[in-house]
Copies of this chain bind each other. A is one copy, B any other.
């Protein structure tokens, strides 16, 4: 574990939520590595709080799929095997397709403009080679589509799936040769939505997820 774990106290939130966000970020950024133990006292000391909010945050991470706990042994950062990744991506493919289809019917002109802007921002971010910015741009783009479905339950699940992939997704975004493909796919998605062309959109979405799947799996294989 890095020792740069500090709380962001600006918000007026219960400590459990602040701790939850802090640990979540740390896991997604890779500061807390898969398999690493989450020891209550250690974390409490480091973050300057008592064990109580730590424990509650761990319960939350658990349900989010980011931590795994064995009773009386404690929690650790969830590991992701290639199989896990495939499973997540299989679900994501189905739900991304669902989201795209709903979006196709319901997206407003305003949201479509927003989406185009997000695409251009994403394109611009690719030039900066700032991974964090690129990742954020990509998230923003897909969020607009998700939100346009008007189905918060779907949005929650999709965000959770994305979260589970995030750690490895970042690796994918480090490889510049993926950028042209990624951009082209985003353009195709915008086009599909503009033309209300469900078939084209569906095809593009599947390709978009499949490409990520391949890349992410390659990364995992390297790591193992």
Contact = CB atoms under 8 A, between A and B. Distances in A.
Interface of A: 13-14, 16-17, 52, 55-56, 59-60, 62-64, 71-72, 84, 87-88, 90-91, 94-95, 97-98, 102, 151-154, 157, 164
A98 B91 contact: yes
Contacts of A157: 91, 157
Given A91-B151, A91-B154, A153-B164, 8 more contacts: A14-B72, A16-B59, A60-B63, A90-B98, A90-B153, A90-B154, A91-B98, A91-B157
A211 to B, nearest CB: 20
Q: Copies of this chain, how many? A: 2
25 contacts: A13-B71, A14-B71, A16-B59, A52-B52, A56-B56, A56-B59, A59-B59, A59-B60, A59-B63, A60-B62, A60-B63, A62-B63, A84-B153, A87-B151, A87-B153, A88-B153, A90-B98, A90-B151, A91-B95, A91-B98, A91-B153, A94-B95, A94-B98, A95-B95, A153-B164
A165 B119 CA distance: 37
A96 to B, nearest CB: 10
Nearest to A102: B90
A97 B88 CA distance: 16
A192 to B, nearest CB: 18
Nearest to A13: B71
Contacts of A62: 60, 63
A45 B164 CA distance: 38
A22 B24 CA distance: 28
A43 to B, nearest CB: 16
Nearest to A72: B14
Contacts of A88: 153
A164 B71 CA distance: 26
